[in-house]
Amino acid sequence: MQDVFVYQGLRTPFGKIGGALSGQRPDDLAELVISALVEQAPGLNPENAGEIVGEVIFGNANGAGEENRNVARMAWLLAKLPVTVPATTINRLCGSSLDAAISGARQIALGETDVILAGGVESMSRAPWVLPKTERPFPMANLELANSTLGWRLINERMPEEWTVSLGEATEQLREKHGIGRERQDEFAARSHELAARAWNEGRFADLIVSVPGVDLQTDETIRAGATTEKLAGLRTVFRSENGTVTAGNASPMNDGASAVWLGSAAGGEQLGLAPQVRIAGWAAAANEPQYFGYAPVEASNKALKRAGIGWGDVGAVELNEAFAAQSLACLDAWDIDPEILNAWGGAIAIGHPLGASGTRVLATLAKRMELSGERWGVATLCIGVGQGIAVVLENATTQN
């Protein structure tokens, strides 16, 4: 089994739904991060890429719109790179691009290839309304469109109702189960905005960002530098009119964006001309009841740590995708770790959560954090709708024994 390393990651700034990136097709956003990563690999060029890159693997959660014909393959071709490189697209909802990275890591570990380009993309702005086909021709009744942007749609009537509640209602149930109040959620959300704004101001994301041509978007569009617990406390609850705590302020927004990373063996890094940031030391997925999806990163991370041969006491940096403040806090409490090591550059509540792009966003962010801080061990993890979680354990390539 070969060691697998993360060599470099890039992403677009994340735009808000209907915002600065809403005019950009998802396949164009994916092409942009692919082209930028190829340009930044000294050993790679459009002529030799077909010999070096084993496969392109992208995550995408919707797949019902302009990205519908295997967006990984579409984006590689749009980049005018060799047609001989195969590509595939994975859908594990919010964990899609981290799953793409895991799939690439498996290929490298098994010696099937030395270089994989893994990433993800989502345009929630451009997710289409879908009209299901009728069972009989020429129906006389009215037909209803379904919004493919987020959550359940076209639900199978055999699915238990408690499993198909909205993501927000599921989070309300989770925070009731774990005793997490509104004030604590708002405090967590305010911290996310504060840390994300600070990270941008300090240039922490400079090496991780590729600008979108023709778009005036200098930072992630949903960061609110002046967000405070007091301001967030004034927002109305969204999913419950009584006894609700989840608001637009303590939940991740809907976004557009793309991200990707170079993965490779030691030999693959030499071919790319890049130095490794981190070694992928373990990975895992886990599942529980669909309505408690927000808690699934707990077991996924525990399993990944066990496979890496370490425990939480060894971990110095964590990137958890903040789908909701309540579920993030539930995971944080279960791990019993220092809150300061979690999302030190802000999280998805501020940065945004374009579903298919979030996995390699947290992976690349964690790798960069560890490279700069020198922390030896880190965990990147996400909750996933319909009751799943996914996690990857990283070891700093410069401090490993």
Catalytic residues: 94, 353, 383
Burial class (CB in 10 A: 0-12, 13-18, 19+), 137: exposed
Q: Can you tell me the distance from the alpha carbon of 174 to that of 331, in angstroms, rounded to the nearest whole number?
A: 11
Contact (Cβ atoms closer than 8 angstroms) between residue 19 and residue 125 = yes
| Coil vs helix vs strand at 172 | helix
Residue 115 and residue 268 in contact, taking contact as beta carbons nearer than 8 Å: yes
Q: Contact, 92 vs 57, CB < 8 A?
A: no
Tokens representing 352 are 């945004």
8-state DSSP, 14: P
Q: Provide the token pair at 332.
A: 């944080």
Q: What are phi and psi of 75, to 5 degrees?
A: -65, -40
C-alpha span between 162 and 175 (Å, rounded): 16
Neighbours of 313 (CB within 10 A): 8
The answer for 133, left when phi > 0, alpha when psi is -120 to 50, beta otherwise, is beta
DSSP alpha helix (H) spans, 132-265: 167-178, 182-201, 229-233
